Amino acid sequence: MTVLVRSLETAVPSTLLKQPEARDVFAAQEGLTRLGQRLVTACFDAAAIDTRYSAIAEFSWDRPDHDPDFFDPSTGTLLTPSTKTRNDLFVREATPLFTETARRALENADGIAPEDVTHVVTVSCTGFFNPGPDYRIVRDLGLSPSVQRFHLGFMGCYAAFPALRMAKAFCDADPNAVVLVAIVELCTLHVRSSNNPDTILGASLFADGAAAAVVTARDLPLTRPALSLDAFETTLTPVGEETMAWNIGDEGFEMVLGTYVPHIIDDHITGALEPLLARDPELAGRPHAEIDHWAVHPGGRSIVDKVAARLGLSEAQAAPAYDTLREFGNMSSATIMFVLEKILALPAATGAGAHDGAQAGAGAHDAAGPGSRAAGAERVCAMAFGPGLTVETALMTRLLP
């Protein structure tokens, strides 16, 4: 039995942030020291980001607000709203992103209707409300009121993996299950001006985005590229607990993102991948670059740089991560879904690590285990990093119709 991501949709809010303009705003804030100003310029310029998106309409220069909460464009001042004010905006802006992205995922899951959904899994670490996004999706999309609902909150950038793993477990237990996974992260609600290097680094990277996917093991025709969910692994690095954290403060959520994180990932990524790749006899012990596609969470440019260099990835294999970072920034747990979406959209046989001939038979992958390769199948290794320091990894197969 093969559990597939049958559809994957992403979305961003409407307010566009251009990195040079955002840099200049942050660098001009009152109270910054000379060192703080230099750090702002250095972090924003080194981020390898061109554009990001925000749910805060006040960040748009051409949409002035006469009573702003977050940003006063008349003076260029970043304001300091309370955690409640930030979370209230999360409720208003996240709800339609959850429901509309989930709606599109259902519409594009051929052979699946809203009444087929058995489980809803929602994810976010940037805001809370109850009845929550899982409830709103059921109500707004007209799903059965008996749908089982689950919310994964405050896990951080790696949370898409527990959500997909949960979806796979439901489908493994019930081959008729249809799981709707929806993720919304509004990270820019929590940005602020500061001389703290961690806060500056976060302000230079984080953005808002949403994603939704339909996961099922139902035997349906393959009409578009899909992802088989083959295996998942979780590990904690032996060091780094203090280098990445996500705390709740009086003026929003507070990110701890130490500059040593890329070095910790560099030291431990191959060890974190070993138990995942050991699940597949075809991949265990082979060069990492022989895996067709790599979905690396672009927590920052230096993280992708370290992973790509350590694993010997080609420019093409690292491109989905770099391109996502450049176009959208770091959208916390939603980001890896944007990377996977780019991989799904690639033409066939473009993986730089493509190897071996495809095995005949549409059921070869399932029948012979995760190591076998069905016709039109390409392997995908995905990973994300978060507080702990937690490393989540997944082995998938891209299946083409």
List active site positions: 157
Rg over CA atoms, the chain: 21
H or E, element range at 169: helix 160-173
Distances in Å between the Cα of 392 and the Cα atoms of 157, 164, 389 are 10, 11, 10
Q: How many residues does the chain have?
A: 401
Instruction: Pick the closest to residue 230 from 276, 269, 271, 275 (CA basis).
Output: 276
Q: DSSP assignment of 304-370, as one string?
A: HHHHHHHHT--HHHHHHHHHHHHHH-B-GGGHHHHHHHHHHHSPTT--TT--SPPBSSTTHHHHT-T
Instruction: Pick the closest to residue 160 from 387, 382, 381 (CA basis).
Output: 382
Instruction: Pick the closest to residue 35 from 191, 243, 196 (CA basis).
Output: 196
Query: What tokens does 258 get?
Result: 């130490």
The conformation of residue 120, written as its DSSP 8-state character, comes to E
H or E, element range at 263: helix 261-277
CA 243 vs. chain centroid, Å, equals: 20
The crossing angle, in degrees rounded to 10, of helices 261-277 and 301-311 is 50
Query: What tokens does 84 get?
Result: 């409640």
